[in-house]
Amino acid sequence: MSLPIWVYFVILGIFTSAFMAIKTAKEDKEMETEWIEKEGQVYIDRMEKEKVQRGKVTVSEE
């Protein structure tokens, strides 16, 4: 006894949907990681710039 053809299409659709969901989640995670690293680098650069400016202010005050 065989299943109707539409059942096979539904099963195929479920697997395709699951695959796409996993693929999209992985891509989103990679993009989020890149964004976090970029923002972290911006923060580090800003902190280093402030440190240099504070060093100049301290030297000029003495």
pLDDT above 70 for 59: no
Q: Give pTM, 2 decimals.
A: 0.60
SS3 percent helix, strand, coil of the chain, rounded to 5, is 90, 0, 10
Pairwise CA distance, residues 28 & 60, whole Å? 48
pLDDT above 90 for 56: no
Pairwise CA distance, residues 25 & 31, whole Å? 10
State how far Cα 20 lies from the chain centre: 17
Q: What value does the mean pLDDT of the chain take?
A: 91
